[in-house]
Amino acid sequence: MNVVTLIGNLATDVELKEVGDGKRVAGFLLAIDRPSKDGGADFVHISVWDRQAELCNEYLGKGKRVGVEGRLRSRSWDAEDGSRRTALEVVANRVEFLSPPEGGAAADVDIPFAAAAA
């Protein structure tokens, strides 16, 4: 089973890209607090697709709190220096906005969350 659930704050602004055939992907870095005496955070790259990517780009920004449900995906590539690089990211099926919107209460906003698949 490949299921991930995370809650954290955006460490970067959302970056929206068009990848062809009308598909869009948004990416951001999520900071997740460590439950330890030392504190600190872990940083995870999140990818969101299609309509939900557009909603994240429109409503989210650095510092906003979100809940993410998705799956882990690993990828690898050859870097310019010839070394082999790998990365682990979460492909989101659902992103729940936990911070209240600018200038209003969360109960006043109805944002549809369409499931997105890569």
42-77 confidence digits (pLDDT tens): 999 999 999 999 999 999 999 999 999 999 999 999
Sorting pLDDT into bands at 50, 70 and 90, what band is 36?
A: confident
CA pair distance 94, 26, nearest whole angstrom: 13
- pTM for the full predicted model: 0.80
More confident residue, 85 or 105: 85
Residues in the chain: 118
Question: Where exactly are the structural domains of the chain?
Answer: 4-99
pLDDT in tens, 16-30: 999 988 899 999 999
Residue with tokens 């870095």: 29
**CATH for the stretch 4-99:** 2.40.50.140
